[in-house]
Amino acid sequence: MKNMPLIIINFEGIIGEILTLPLFDPEAKTGLYIKNGVIENMKRLSNKFQLAIVTGIDDTKFSTILKFFKSHKIVFDAVYFRKILENTEDLFSEYSHIFTDFEIEPEDVKWNVLLLCPILLENIEIKTRTNEELVFDHIYC
C-alpha cells in the first residue's frame, strides 16, 4: 500500500448514518445522511493519508454508499465490515488485522495510525474522565 500514514474511520457515528427520518413517521423513507463537511474534508485527507473505512452496514447497502463517495471522487484504500456483536464487550473492535493489511508494524502504530470512532461513553463518564482516561480505557486493553 502507499507509504503514507493511515486513518481508520468508523462510518457510523463519524461520517454518517443510514436513518429513517422523521423517526416515528410510518411514511418516512430510509436515506443516507452524511455529516456536514465530510465530502470536502475527505478529499483533503485522501491527498495526505491512506483511508480505511469500517462499518457494520452489510456489504450490499454499503456498496451504494461507496458509489456515492466515488461519484464525489473519494475512494477508500480499504473497506472493513464489522461482524455482528454478541455482547457489549465486543463493542471495541480489533484493528490489528488492518495494521497488518497496511504493513504497519505494532511499534509504529502510534506514529502512523489515527483511529476515528465514536467515543461510546455516557455523558456522565465523559464529564468524570480526564485527559488520557477520556480516549484510552484500560479496562478494554
Domain ranges of the chain: 6-140
Residue pair 5/109 in contact by the 8 Å Cβ criterion: no
pLDDT-derived band at 139 (thresholds 50, 70, 90) equals very low
More confident: 134 or 63: 63
Residue type at position 57: I
Beta bridge partners of 108: none
State the average pLDDT over residues 14-37. 81
pLDDT-derived band at 141 (thresholds 50, 70, 90) equals very low
Q: C-alpha cell of 1? A: 500500500
Q: Which fold has domain 6-140?
A: Rossmann fold (3.40.50)
State the average pLDDT over residues 100-122. 86
Residue environment code for 41-72, b if the CB has 16+ CB neighbours within 10 A, otherwise e: ebeebbeebbbbbbbebeeeebeebbeebeee
List the end-to-end C-alpha distance of the chain, in Å, as a whole number. Answer: 28
Give the pLDDT confidence score for residue 120 in this predicted structure.
66
Give the pLDDT confidence score for residue 41 in this predicted structure.
93
Mean of all residue pLDDT scores within the chain: 81
Q: pLDDT of 38-81, one tens digit each?
A: 999 999 999 999 999 998 888 888 888 999 999 999 999 999 98
More confident: 46 or 21: 46
